[in-house]
């Protein structure tokens, strides 16, 4: 939360930087992709009527859920357009890691260089960023992820069902090579997260992500 507050303090002056009447593009100026969504979302969705006690009973320790209408990040979203993030953080260094399970190779580059030169649709045979990038299967503690711009496709397995994957293979390559051969009983839970939707996943659930577009998102990991 402290990091989010610091980021917001840096971005707030940009909220008034555009001349009156100049609306931000609906996609935030980020690149749309061509990777398809799943045929059918198999992750349950819930809205703001979900009570805390029902969340604990049905989802907190047993299965993921997509929450809709529970947050209003419109002010933050307005600050996360391509133009405004470049203006605020263009000269700052960002740390990039390889798109594999262990992320053992890391490189620091200026944010502007990352956005203008490295964000491009991904070749399935290469590690990369942009549309088609993502994180291969891994697990950790419970958490939330909210999409601000773009679409992010999720694949999830319960802790007792280890997915078949190569740790150095990208999620896009896994989708092309392994996923089509999986029998129905071995398919993951999957769904595409859109702006304003929040995914909750329980402790130790395997998950992989695939950015269908260049996506801006927030993740929070619990305990």
Residue range 12-62, pLDDT digits in tens: 343 334 444 457 788 899 988 888 899 999 999 999 999 999 999 999 999
Give the per-residue pLDDT at 168.
Answer: 79
pLDDT > 70 in the chain, percent: 80
pLDDT tens for each residue of 164-190: 988 878 899 899 999 999 999 999 999
Question: What pLDDT does residue 65 have?
Answer: 98
- Tell me the CA distances in angstroms from 160 to 78, 139, 180, 213, one per residue in order: 40, 12, 22, 31
pTM (predicted TM-score):
0.82
pLDDT of residue 84: 95
Residue range 59-89, pLDDT digits in tens = 999 999 999 998 888 999 999 999 999 999 9
Count of alpha carbons within 13 Å of 121, Cβ hemisphere only? Answer: 6
Residue 163's φ and ψ, nearest 5 degrees, are -70, 155
d(CA 197, CA 148): 8
Identify the band that residue 199 occupies on the pLDDT scale cut at 50, 70 and 90.
very high
pLDDT of residue 122: 60
The per-residue pLDDT for 223 is: 73
Q: In the predicted model, is pLDDT for residue 157 greater than 80? A: yes
Report in angstroms the alpha-carbon separations of 143 from 21, 56, 218: 38, 14, 11
For residues 147 and 26, give the distance between their C-alpha atoms in angstroms, rounded to a whole number.
14
Query: 147 falls in which pLDDT band (50, 70, 90)?
Result: very high
Looking at residues 132-145, what average pLDDT do you find?
Answer: 90
* pLDDT-wise least confident of 48-57, 113-122, 144-153, 172-181: 113-122
Sheet with 206-211: strands ordered across:
189-193, 152-157, 206-211
């Amino acid at each position: 939360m402290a990091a989010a507050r610091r980021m917001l303090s840096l971005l707030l002056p940009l909220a008034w930087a555009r001349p009156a009447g100049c609306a931000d593009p609906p996609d935030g100026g980020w690149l749309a992709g061509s990777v398809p969504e799943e045929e059918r979302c198999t992750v349950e969705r819930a809205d703001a009527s979900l009570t805390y006690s029902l969340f604990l009973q049905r989802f907190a320790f047993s299965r993921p859920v997509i929450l809709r209408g529970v947050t209003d990040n419109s002010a933050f979203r307005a600050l996360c357009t391509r133009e405004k993030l470049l203006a605020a953080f263009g000269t700052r260094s960002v740390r990039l890691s390889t798109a594999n399970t262990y992320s053992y190779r890391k490189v620091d580059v200026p944010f502007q260089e990352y956005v203008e030169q490295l964000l491009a649709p991904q070749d399935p045979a290469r590690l990369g960023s942009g549309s088609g990038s993502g994180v291969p299967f891994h697990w950790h503690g419970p958490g939330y992820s909210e999409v601000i711009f773009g679409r992010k496709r999720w694949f999830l397995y319960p802790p007792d069902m280890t997915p078949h994957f190569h740790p150095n293979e990208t999620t896009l390559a896994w989708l092309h090579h392994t996923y089509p051969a999986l029998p129905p009983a071995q398919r993951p839970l999957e769904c595409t997260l859109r702006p304003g939707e929040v995914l909750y996943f329980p402790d130790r659930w395997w998950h992989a992500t695939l950015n269908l577009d260049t996506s801006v998102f927030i993740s929070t990991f619990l305990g």
